[in-house]
């Protein structure tokens, strides 16, 4: 008798469910997402700024491009591009700058442009200039004469007057300015320019109000700063800390202004390569 043959039935796996392909974002959606990332980055992390004047010589030159950290002093409406009113005017997560910090800020109602100066006086400080020497809380800030500052004449740089025009041994035209080293009570040192006796070398004593800063340019005789009332073309007065935008952090690029779009090689020859990467 033939035994029944039992055939092992092969397990036939059920058909795999076919997952629908993930729908890729359209190009306009991608652009919107990218724009949102850029806005968040510029508003709360880092933002680029360019230097359009020589009020911060010798540390900053006309044609410098730097990155400013946006978080050190907190955030307000001025942290956002175009000062869009999505944040309050009063800073949130606020902190006070240190003397010697180089800060970017706005000063309405003068205008809505970005300024950059150095923090000299904090709330409650007494600040005065006497004979070109900075006095802070009744004591002179040490001011040491060091080597002259020389900057080549270029599209971005012209000497204040013929008095400061000079020529190097290789024939390069430069502006040569007297340079000094100031050292604040906390030990922060930086270089300043002093072009000689000027009316702004002697001022009244300023008492910095609560919530404000006394700011000055390092180019002491060519800076519209807190020594002057907040008026267009004259000064900025005391600056509310709520107006702070960020703190200068690193030099991103620098150009002497000699580049031309139709001459690509000038993009490289006009760059001040030695200035790139410097920190504050």
Q: Is 19 a catalytic site residue?
A: no
Cα–Cα nearest to 75, from 60, 90, 54, 53:
90
Task: Tell me which CATH homologous superfamily contains domain 46-275.
Answer: Umud Fragment, subunit A (2.10.109.10)
Overall average pLDDT of the 85-107 stretch: 89
Q: Is 274 a catalytic site residue?
A: no
Q: Show me where the domains of the chain are located.
A: 46-275
Q: Among 7-16, 67-76, 82-91, 99-108, name the one with the lowest average pLDDT.
A: 7-16
- Residue pointed to by tokens 């010697």: 100
pLDDT in tens, 18-37: 555 555 668 778 778 777 77
Which of the residues 79, 117, 154, 254 is marked catalytic? 117
Per-residue pLDDT at 16 exceeds 60: no
Two structure tokens written together for 170: 């290789």
Which of the residues 55, 76, 223, 254 is marked catalytic? 55
- Please report, to the nearest 10 degrees, the dihedral formed by the alpha carbons of residues 199, 138, 119, 125 taken in order: -120
Residue 47, H or E segment: strand 46-50
- Number of C-beta neighbours around residue 73 at 10 A: 23
Overall average pLDDT of the 238-250 stretch: 96
Overall average pLDDT of the 142-171 stretch: 96
What is the model's pTM?
Answer: 0.85
Check residue 137 and give its pLDDT: 98
Query: What is d(CA 97, CA 257) in angstroms, rounded to the nearest whole number?
Result: 32
């Amino acid at each position: 008798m033939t035994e029944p043959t039992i055939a092992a039935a092969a397990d036939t796996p059920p058909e795999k469910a076919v997952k629908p392909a993930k729908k890729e974002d359209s190009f306009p959606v991608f652009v919107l997402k990218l724009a949102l990332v850029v806005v968040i980055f510029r508003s709360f992390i880092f933002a680029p700024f360019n230097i359009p004047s020589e009020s911060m010589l010798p540390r900053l030159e006309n044609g410098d491009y730097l990155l400013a950290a946006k978080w050190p002093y907190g955030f307000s409406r001025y942290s956002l591009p175009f000062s869009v009113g999505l944040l309050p005017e009063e800073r949130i997560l606020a902190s006070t700058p240190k003397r010697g910090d180089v800060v970017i800020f706005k000063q309405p109602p003068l205008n809505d442009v970005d300024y950059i100066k150095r923090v000299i006086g904090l709330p409650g400080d007494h600040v005065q200039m006497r004979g070109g020497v900075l006095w802070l809380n009744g004591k002179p800030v040490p001011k040491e004469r060091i080597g002259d500052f020389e900057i080549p004449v270029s599209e971005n740089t012209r000497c204040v007057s013929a008095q400061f025009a000079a020529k190097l041994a290789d024939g390069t035209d430069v502006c040569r300015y007297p340079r000094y080293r100031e050292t604040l009570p906390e030990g922060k040192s930086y270089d300043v320019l002093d072009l000689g006796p000027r009316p702004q070398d002697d001022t009244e004593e300023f008492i910095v109000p609560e919530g404000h800063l006394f700011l000055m340019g390092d180019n002491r005789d060519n800076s519209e700063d807190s020594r002057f009332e907040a008026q267009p073309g004259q000064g900025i007065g005391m600056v509310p800390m709520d107006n702070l935008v960020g703190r200068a952090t690193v030099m991103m690029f620098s150009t002497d202004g000699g580049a031309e779009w139709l001459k690509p090689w000038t993009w490289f020859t006009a760059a001040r390569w030695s200035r790139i990467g410097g920190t504050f």
